[in-house]
Structure 1
Amino acid sequence: MKKKLIYMSIATFAIAQSAIAQNLDLQTPANNLKQQISSIFPIVACILFVVVALVNLGHFTKEGGDWKKGVFNIVLYCVIVGVIVSLYQYIGSTSL
């Protein structure tokens, strides 16, 4: 009889916990975080682009400069930012 009572109380507790867990409302904080990232990301991407361009400026201006390497680094940066933006847009479009 005691075992049955213990099992019944454990089952009731488990069902109650799953019902409580469904009411956490995590969608609102996730949307707030998404909005903050959306507003900050373009600024960070532009600052990083300026840094990458300044670092690669030496490839363009020095004597015997390697134009290919400078252009390749800037294009590589743009591709990486494009992939990050694409992944962000894909994740944002999926519903939880």
Structure 2
Amino acid sequence: MSYEDYEAALEDLRADALAWSDLAETFSAAKTIVAGCRLAMYEMDGIGHMLGAEANYNEAHTTIQGLADRAPTVFTEISDKLLDTKRRYEEADGYSQWLLDQG
């Protein structure tokens, strides 16, 4: 692996971390939108209620709300792990010697 390849790999880790961080921000905004999609009491007609559509909607909404609520945290953790991996590669004992060997 050349020095340029190594630097490109480290840059890829940084770029991927930024993408995950951007997703965390996006889902922070999206969870507010998802919360607003909750059905008001008796918003569906009696048929929809009797057929279970209201319960299905509410169950799906609860699942999606849970995912949207957790997404920013999970995506931030992924971003942090990628940045930590990059940092560890840069701080590795052999890194300085490897750079010197590359001339």
TM-score w.r.t. length of structure 1:
0.48
Higher relative contact order (CA 8 A, sep 6+): 2
Determine which structure has more spread, i.e. the larger CA radius of gyration: 1
TM-score w.r.t. length of structure 2:
0.46
